[in-house]
Amino acid sequence: MQHKAHRASNITLNQDVEYLNRLLDKVLRHEGGEELLETVKHFRTLSKAIRAENQASNFTTFNQEINKLDSSLREKVIRAFSVNLQLYNIAEQNYRSRRRREYQMQDDSIIQSRSLEHGVNQLFENNISIEQVEKVLGDLSLELVITAHPTEATRRSMLRIHQRIADLLKDWEFSYLRYDKKVIQEMIENEITILWQTAEIREKKPSVMKEVSNGLYFFDKVLFNVLPQLHQDLEDLLEEKYSHRFQVPAFLRFGSWIGGDRDGNPNVKAKTTFNTLKEHRNLVLSKYMESIDSLKEKLSQSNKKVAVSDKLVESIANDQKELKYNGWHKIDEVYRVKLGLILRRLKLTAQDTKGGYSDAHALKDDLLLIQDSLTIHHPAQNPIKLLRHVIRQVEIFGFHLATLDIRNHSGEHENTIAEILRQVGIAPDYKALDETDKTATLIKVLEDPRPLISIYDEFSKESQEMIETFRTIKQVKDTFGERAIEVYLISMTTAVSDILEVLVLAKEVGLYRVYPDGKVRSRLHVAPLLETIDDLKFGPEMIKQLFSIPLYRKHLEARGDLQEIMLGYSDSSKDGGNVTANWELYKTQDEIHLIASSYGVKLKYFHGRGGSLGRGGGPLYSSLLSQPPITHGDGVKITEQGEVLSSRYLLSDIAYRSLEQATSTLLTSVAGIPQSEVQEEMPTKQEREAMTFISEAALKKYQDLVFGDKDFLTYFNQGTPLNELGALNIGSRPMKRKGSDRFEDLRAIPWVFAWTQSRQLLPAWYAAGTGLQAYLDQTDDLALLQDMYQHWPFFQAIINNLQMALTKTDLEIASNYTKMIKDDTISERIFGQIKKEHKLTKDIVLSISQQSELMDHQPNIKESVRLRNPLVDPLNIIQVQLINQLRAIDDEAAASDLLEDVLLTINGIAAGMRNTG
């Protein structure tokens, strides 16, 4: 049965792709005539032939024919392949939605893997008792944090068109009348035409507030309804299976960095942060008004027909008296009266005037009054789910919508503290102190309740902005609630003083205070961000030093004995390679967990993952599974950024599926249900030692190339579109931290983005083969690695991500990029190393996974890559030709036209590769 459903889905996927291609061809004919249509068809056919026949002569012909295109036709060809890939993405998303529906249409003996139902069934089948389920629900915590990291190349205007086409494609599938299908087809064709006629390239970088607006779009259109629905479905499934009503807490929330992330972004100011939270509040209040309006339409019961609670009647009378408003014209329709009064209070809240709600708890209390009253006359076995849905929305989103994290670089805090301490005469040169003296100085300042600064003090522009940021955090918490901002993240945390400096700044604005009796009040979590390999290795020792400071322990007690720690996947991978970064991240979590447990401190790990494989990307559930088993009960936060937002959260069905996979995985993991058939403790000492050996060998190989080869940066800068990426205007933040050409100052996003564009994907796999082979050369124990792959989710994730990266890598296409490098000896030598390492890695990964081809374990993804390649290849070939021309001319006007075409190819390749940055 499952096999048939799976096969049917594949058929319909291909049908959707062909259907959309036919409509695109009609648009191409209209926009560019037969010349454009026939040219695009010719290159599609030629590109497929190159893949099928793998002959160098075909490739040469392809290159030559593309080179003959005049500039006008070339631009249209680029756009045609780009739109083709966008439509393929839409068809693929529709396929995923269809697959979910097909499972739901089957009887309950056929359940989709990692669905909510699958997770609940696993609890029941593993004899997890009601009491244990209650504890598991209490321990569940997953927060997903959207960021403005610039990896989404597609404009929001185009994403909205994608959403409309996806909705229409779904409507077309469910339409059975010929006329309806005809009308829907016309609408899809119109949307593709609009997509074609919409400018793909941003003319300027988005402002931070524009990025805020872009992020809020996902809350407005999808998350505001999907999150409460998922909570409700879990509650219902548990009740159905256990015949017990569980109260599922709001365990799944979304946060944001947009408008709060200052690290390297000079455009984020204190005022920006406050305005961001205002936008959050405005949206969530407007969404509540929509929800209450829907409830008011539904709850038309009359107290002439049913009995209602005295408390509800009393609250209505009090509200009418205070607000001088009746709420509804028919006084017998008491629920509508109360909901009308709720709407009036929400409007007053939005206007920040008297009569509004003091906080979201007051709104929830009003809704609970209605719910309690309904229980008097409405069947208990069939509750009004819309009301429960709205109550859940209030629990999840409050009046702040999404918690905003604040982040800045440790060096910025140190500069401000140094200036303050110099002005008040405590430390003439704080930065010159060693770590012991810095820590002692900061503790002394924290223990003294007297402030160091006043509103009249004058500081440098940078320090003043830092102080204003902390004042704004306090203002935000006072205005929008404690949950509006909960944590302050410190980039490049290397020492205890980096954390104490933030506490001192918090103290100076009233967010932190030591009372005469020694008690501490603290309103802000302070979280170190461990980014480089060295920082990860030192992290456990630093946390131990921090927890041994009595004053800091009091801060933690004030914060519920909870410490948040962020782990950086991007910079650690850039610093030490993918395999080493992941192993150091794993070990660091393990070690810090044991330290925290010894101090009675709970942890929340914040995983700074990117969308790409080179930055910790992959499915949410896989990210959760790959963490150390000992940490599964700890709270989890994960960044969701760039193109991941649109791929996961643009469509409700896809968003639900991604989130239910994560929830099901987390549910069973926290319950202690093994994620594989092998029951032994994992990893064993032998497996840890193997992984350490592999990591050390891989690190040496990686750093020998990236840091040890004097020509490597030349190869990277000249052989990828790195320098052209800056003109793409996909984010408000600069590509480099300090505007220098040093490798250390290059951000991880353009580092990964450039390698992906050139089809080498080096950060995602390079050096892994050497590490694995070194272990085999030492031990000849392939069986151990195969066993690790079978039962250790962490190692399985590494191998499977390598499979994905190696599959998406195409060194035949990449060889074109090496021709952009001026020195042939450099390109041949380094590219030769890359080819050799690619083959080694591929061979050993296949041996470990015991597969004949890469991605045999996920045939759908394998097929997706195969079908996309012929559409992406022409864009790569054109991109190389254009960059060569662009870098050779001095004519500014001609360069501008060429650059725009280059940017179009970047957008198209990004659409084809999906996880770009």
Hey, what are 131's tokens?
Answer: 């009491």
Question: Is there a contact between 46 and 61 (Cβ–Cβ < 8 Å)?
Answer: yes
| Single-letter residue type at 366 | D
Q: Which residues make Cβ contacts (< 8 Å) with residue 68, sequence separation at least 6?
A: none
Q: Which residues make Cβ contacts (< 8 Å) with residue 348, sequence separation at least 6?
A: 323, 354, 355, 356
User: How many angstroms separate the Cα of 80 from the Cα of each of 47, 384, 616, 871?
Assistant: 14, 49, 32, 10
CA distance 467 to 471: 6
Question: Is there a contact between 111 and 121 (Cβ–Cβ < 8 Å)?
Answer: yes
CA 294 to chain centre: 31
Closest Cα partner for 406 from 572, 526, 499?
526
Residues 87-121 as b/e (b if ≥16 CB within 10 A, e otherwise) read: bbbbbbbbbbbbbbebbeeeeeeebbebbbbbbbb
Q: Kindly give the pairing relationship between strand 602-608 and strand 525-530.
A: unpaired
User: Which residue in 231, 287, 574, 607 is the catalytic one?
Assistant: 574
Write down the residue that tokens 């089809």 correspond to: 759
Long-range CB contacts for residues 549-557, cutoff 8 Å, separation at least 24 = 549/439, 549/443, 549/496, 551/443, 551/446, 551/447, 551/514, 551/520, 552/499, 552/500, 552/503, 553/599, 554/514, 554/518, 554/519, 554/520, 555/503, 555/512, 555/520, 555/522, 555/526, 556/601, 557/520
780's enclosing H/E stretch is none
CA distance 567 to 608: 6
Paired strand residues for 565: 605
- The DSSP-derived string for 679-725 is -S-SS-HHHHHHHHHHHHHHHHHHHHHHTT-TTHHHHHHHHSSHHHH
CA distance 157 to 203: 13
What count of Cα atoms within 13 Å lies in the side-chain half-sphere of residue 494?
10
Question: Is there a contact between 413 and 490 (Cβ–Cβ < 8 Å)?
Answer: yes
CA distance 706 to 725: 21
User: Which residue in 149, 477, 555, 791 is the catalytic one?
Assistant: 149
802's enclosing H/E stretch is helix 793-808
Question: Is there a contact between 564 and 602 (Cβ–Cβ < 8 Å)?
Answer: no
| Pure H helices in 481-532 | 496-508
Catalytic status, residue 347 = no
Catalytic status, residue 574 = yes
Give the residue numbers marked as catalytic. 149, 574
